[in-house]
A = this chain, B = another copy of it.
Amino acid sequence: MNQSIIKTIAFDADDTLWINETFFRDAEDQFCALLEDYLPYEECHKRLFEMEMRNLPLYGYGIKPFGLSLIEASIEITDGEVSIEIIQELIAMAKAMLDAPVQLMEGIEGVLDTLSQKYRLVVATKGDLLDQERKLEKSGLAKYFHHIEVMSDKQPKNYMKLVNHLDIAPESFFMVGNSLKSDILPVLEIGGNAIHIPFHTTWVHEQIDYEVVHDNFQAFEKVDDILNVL
């Protein structure tokens, strides 16, 4: 990689800086346990995912959309038989997720410390502004970043807007993230550079079933490995 042209390195937040997907998986498991009298586990997961996908265009990403979808799915799955106590538990689950402590990804702080001395770093995340700002604050990582960019989605056009906003050319833009679909492919499409650091759990919605091969792309096992190329 041609390091001299790098002006800004953007880090995805959830499952790149800190653990996130695990909280959603746990909440889905709790949800299906609450509704086990109505539907087997597998089918319940499927129905919840369908509800989330149906609501995604209107709600967007994040915990509050997830909470609203949990409630709506519980009503649909039980044909309106769900108890108010269960709905209360679902609200409490969403609140607990919003209030959860931030668990940093292993090795991330050292990497940010090193890179922030050489490059301008930003956080580029989709989801909820308040929630992501709060997590960045709690994480103790805010000091390494110039600022946080919360995007409503991670389509190529959103990255184009981000790059224009950062006042740099796409080829000077570097993205580090765990989702091939959201952090890598759209960035390569606009002519940027991308590094993939997988997380052990990936939301079905973020999964792609082919291999990425591109001159501007590299994949590493651990975040520390990126210091070899940046």
A75 to B99 alpha-carbon distance, docked (Å):
22
Q: Is the CB of A91 within 8 A of B64?
A: no
Interface residues on A, range: 20 to 34
| In the complex, A109 has a CB within 8 A of chain B | no
* Residue from B58, B81, B82, B133 in contact with A152 in the complex, judged by beta carbons closer than 8 Å: B133
From residue 49 to 67 of chain A, which have CB atoms closer than 8 A to chain B?
Answer: 58-60, 64-65, 67
Closest to A164 in B: B147
* Residue from B81, B87, B152 in contact with A75 in the complex, judged by beta carbons closer than 8 Å: B87
From residue 136 to 181 of chain A, which have CB atoms closer than 8 A to chain B?
Answer: 147, 150-153, 161, 165
Q: A98-B59, A130-B152 are in contact. Are A75 and B64 (CB under 8 A)?
A: no
Q: Is the CB of A130 within 8 A of B60?
A: yes
List, in ascending order, chain B residues with CB within 8 A of A99's CB: 58
| In the complex, A84 has a CB within 8 A of chain B | yes
From residue 15 to 64 of chain A, which have CB atoms closer than 8 A to chain B?
Answer: 58-60, 64
What's the minimum C-beta distance from A56 to chain B, rounded to whole angstroms?
Answer: 10
List, in ascending order, chain B residues with CB within 8 A of A82's CB: 84
A82 to B84 alpha-carbon distance, docked (Å):
8
| In the complex, A104 has a CB within 8 A of chain B | no
Interface centre among A60, A75, A95 (most CB of B within 10 A): A60
Q: Is the CB of A80 within 8 A of B84?
A: yes
List, in ascending order, chain B residues with CB within 8 A of A91's CB: 68, 71-72
Sample of 8 further A-B pairs with CB below 8 A, known A60-B130, A81-B84, A130-B153:
A58-B98, A59-B64, A59-B130, A60-B129, A64-B68, A75-B87, A87-B87, A129-B150
A-B contacts, 12 of them at CB < 8 A, read A58-B98, A58-B99, A60-B131, A64-B68, A68-B94, A71-B91, A81-B84, A128-B128, A128-B129, A129-B150, A133-B152, A150-B150
